[in-house]
Amino acid sequence: MARRYFISGGAGFIGSNYVYRLIRRGENVTVYDNLSRAGAPRNIAWLEETFGKGAFKLIAGDVRNADLLRESAQYADVIVHLAGQVAVTTSVTNPREDFEANALGTFNALEAARLSDKNPIFIYSSTNKVYGSMDDVEIIEEATRWCYKDLIKGCPETPINMCAIMHAFMGCVLLSSVRVVSMALDNLASKTKAGWHG
């Protein structure tokens, strides 16, 4: 039986590729995205061209809108939170917008899960930057992806710097009432990126 997946940031680079995989697997997918990134409309068009317009539901919404987010995610079995403000320049020039999209947006997504009667699994991602500088870690190329040579199971969840401590804190805020899975996404690269836009 297909699960109902709710993907915030589902029109972004990582989100649209995950949506692609879920649809191929036969899951029921809702994409929730504010469509503010330049590549978002192209990613949605690519998904619609590949699977057809009715293959997933698209909700143009912002994670800062707690009411719309909660209402939109209320029937999800799995909430995958990939939305966020990703531009470093914006984090410097407009830190309030960065904070609201990332911290408040994540809080709103967690609240949507907590308040849902479905008790959904909550999956979120983060950048590898929470682990500090990775300059001394060797990266190797495999057939379909890049991997850390000596970190076969990925990066440890050991807080290395203040960002890591905040990552750990945000991941534990509502653990008592929401099933949370954290993924640190580092240097994602695919050898078949045709059609995918960040």
For residue 127, list its beta bridge partners.
185
Whether the CB-CB separation of 102 and 145 falls below 8 Å is answered with no
Residue 20: pLDDT over 70: yes
Domains of the chain with CATH codes: 4-185 (3.40.50.720)
Terminal C-alpha separation, the chain: 31
Compute the distance between CA of residue 55 and CA of residue 118 in angstroms, rounded to an integer.
23
Interstrand relation of 57-60 and 139-141 (parallel, antiparallel or unpaired): unpaired
pLDDT-based confidence at residue 92 (cuts at 50, 70, 90): confident
Mean pLDDT (whole number) for 60-65: 98
Rounded to two decimals, the pTM is 0.74
Residue 169: pLDDT over 90: no
Please give the radius of gyration of the chain, using alpha carbons only, rounded to the nearest integer: 17
Residue 167: pLDDT over 80: no
Residue 25: pLDDT over 80: yes
Residue 74: pLDDT over 60: yes
Per the model's pLDDT, the better-predicted residue between 166 and 103 turns out to be 103
pLDDT-based confidence at residue 89 (cuts at 50, 70, 90): confident
Compute the distance between CA of residue 49 and CA of residue 111 in angstroms, rounded to an integer.
34
DSSP classification of residue 27: -
Helix (H) or strand (E) holding 28: strand 28-33
Mean pLDDT of all residues in the chain?
A: 81
For residue 61, the tally of other CB atoms under 10 A from its CB is 20
